[in-house]
Amino acid sequence: MPTAKDLQALSDREVVELAKAGKEAAYRELLRRYERPVFSLIYRMVRHRTLAEDLAQETFIKVLNALQTYRPEYKFSSWIFKIANNAAIDQLRRRELDTLSLDGAPDARTADEVAATALQVSDLAESPLEELESRETGSAIEQAIGRLRPEYRTCILLRHVEGRSYEEIAEVMDLPLGTVKTYIHRARLELREYLADLRT
């Protein structure tokens, strides 16, 4: 039975094979390897810690429970990033649909209706979690990334934060290689503009 240290020396493919054979330590090794990259990607996409943690958890549960269906000709990292990215994109789409106005319902006509349908924000002070969030996502570059289109954000994060190849990003996002290169180029241009704006 391989120890945790032995597992660290193995490739993803070998660890997956051990996990398929029912070794719990192999499952934990996959979690150890990918919990930070997956969480970082999702967190920087949805920019909400608790939500990101829930989505990362769902991603791992989905991946680890479907390990028997994993095909070794694909990279494990591509597979897990694809599921994580899809979860984040779905969440962003849902959030767009659920967006509520703090200033009252759009069909409110009178001042009373506006007041009655406006959301009440009871406490504007930051909770410890919110403080942590603003520390983690409050830097200029994090804010600039947050303003990018979701597809650009995924590309730039996978390329420059996770260090993935263009080919792997294309596989993760189901996009042609040329499109990925274009997205990354445009994302960099936009980041440059945002950062220049922040400095002026």
Partner 1 sequence: MDKQLDHSDLDALVLRELSSLPSLAPSRGFQDRVMARVSLPRPVPLVLLQRAGAWILQPHRAVALATAYATCVLVTVLLAAPWVSAHANFFTLAASWVVGQVGGWLDAAALAVASWGVRSGVVSALRAVAGTGPRLWATVVTVTIAYAGSGYGLHVLLKAPRRSDELAGTL
Centre a 10 Å sphere on the Cβ of residue 99 and count the other Cβ atoms it contains: 7
Of positions 31, 100, 105, 115, contacts partner 1 by CB under 8 A: 31
Which listed residue (2, 10, 12, 64) binds partner 1 by CB under 8 A? 64
Q: What is the DSSP letter of 158?
A: I
Q: CA–CA separation, 69 vs 71, rounded Å?
A: 6
> What is the total count of residues that contact partner 1 (CB under 8 A)?
40
Residue 40 found at the interface with partner 1 (CB under 8 A): yes
The answer to whether the CB of 168 falls within 8 A of the CB of 78 is yes
What does R_g of the chain's alpha carbons equal in angstroms?
Answer: 20
Among 56, 83, 87, 158, binds partner 1 (CB under 8 A): 56
Options 49-57, 95-103, 115-123, 164-172: segment touching partner 1 (CB under 8 A): 49-57
Q: Does 186 bind partner 1 (CB under 8 A)?
A: no
Q: Applying CB under 8 A, does 142 fall inside the site for partner 1?
A: yes
Number of other CB atoms surrounding residue 27 within 10 Å: 17
> In this chain, which of 6, 8, 13, 20 binds partner 1, going by CB under 8 A?
20
Among 32, 93, 147, 149, interactor with partner 1 by CB under 8 A:
32
DSSP symbol at 159: I
Comparing C-alpha atoms, which of 29, 36, 10 is closest to residue 67?
29
Q: In the bound complex, what is the minimum distance in angstroms from residue 73's beta carbon to partner 1?
A: 21
Read out DSSP for 38-87? HHHHHHHHH--HHHHHHHHHHHHHHHHHTGGG--TTS-HHHHHHHHHHHH
Q: Which listed range, 31-39, 76-84, 112-120, 175-183, lies at the site for partner 1 (CB under 8 A)?
A: 31-39
Query: Under the rule (CB under 8 A), what is the footprint of partner 1?
Result: 20-22, 24, 27-28, 31-32, 35-37, 39-40, 43-44, 52-53, 56-57, 60-61, 64-65, 67-68, 136, 139-142, 156, 160-161, 188, 191-192, 195-196, 199-200
